[in-house]
Amino acid sequence: MRLILLGAPGAGKGTVAKMLTKIDGSVQISTGDILRAAVKEGTELGKKAEAYMTAGDLVPDELIMDIMGERLLQDDCKPGFLLDGFPRTIPQAEALKALLEKLGIELDFAVNLNVPREEILRRLTTRRTCVDCGAIYNVISMPPKVEGKCDKCGGDVVQRDDETEEAISKRLDVYNEKTAPLANFYKEEGLLLDIDATSSDDVVKAIQEKLAG
């Protein structure tokens, strides 16, 4: 499957993407994960992106398109891909459209995960992430077995720098201003699938039904 996952931070894009990869081997591509790895490794990309990310701002479109232009050419994308956190602006969506046209690739659809703002805030303030493998936990509903340590790889499980209350509030404002208009963009493309995403299981079921036609 070839999907775009749209939705506010904390809407469950990463969780849904991980569940979908297990169904048919499509690869999850998270620009947030790619950027966090670059920051951790101290690469040129990481140095350019870090300040934007910590402030809860978007990284410039050119940097993101450089990353995705290369990433989508890799062999593991051939069976399918789940774009998690990309595109996030109209210029990114337009550049992606041009890129896919050039590559002769068609999207199945763009899934818009809708979650009420109070639920988003609750999820983000209680979310914890493994610094090594990116696994996601929740201090209330899904804590790691050993506090602060990842069940999967043993890495440190921490609160992300951009999940302070101030950065979260900024990220939600940026989402409303720059990313929410993408739902309309994909509606006009005839690709939008709007879903109530309070439960990730229901989202996966709805996507499977839609793909089955």
Q: Which of 8, 58, 130, 203 binds ligand AMP (CB under 6 A)?
A: 58
> Could you tell me which stretch among 29-37, 94-102, 115-123, 202-210 binds ligand AMP (CB under 6 A)?
29-37
Residue 128 catalytic?
no
Q: Which of 20, 14, 131 is nearest to 84 (CA)?
A: 14
Contact 128, 137 (CB under 8 A): yes
User: For ligand AMP, which residue of 20, 39, 64, 207 counts as binding (CB under 6 A)?
Assistant: 64
Binding mask 176-195 for ligand AMP (x = CB under 6 A): --------------------
Of 3 and 64, the one with the shorter C-beta distance to ligand AMP is 64
Of 151, 156, 127, nearest to 9 (Cα)?
127
2 flagged as catalytic: no
Number of residues that bind ligand AMP (CB under 6 A): 18
Distances (CA, A) of 39 to 10, 45, 63, 173: 21, 7, 14, 23
Are the C-beta atoms of residues 120 and 13 closer than 8 Å to each other? no
| CB-closest chain residue to ligand AMP | 32
- Closest approach, Cβ 17 to ligand AMP, in A, equals 11
88 is an interface residue for ligand AMP by CB under 6 A: yes
Q: Is 71 a catalytic residue?
A: no
- Rounded distance between C-alpha atoms, residue 207 and residue 16, angstroms: 10
Q: Please tell me whether residue 163 binds ligand AMP under the rule CB under 6 A.
A: no
Binding site for ligand AMP (CB under 6 A): 9, 31-32, 35, 52-53, 56-59, 64, 85-88, 92, 162, 171
Catalytic positions, please? 13, 88, 127, 160, 171
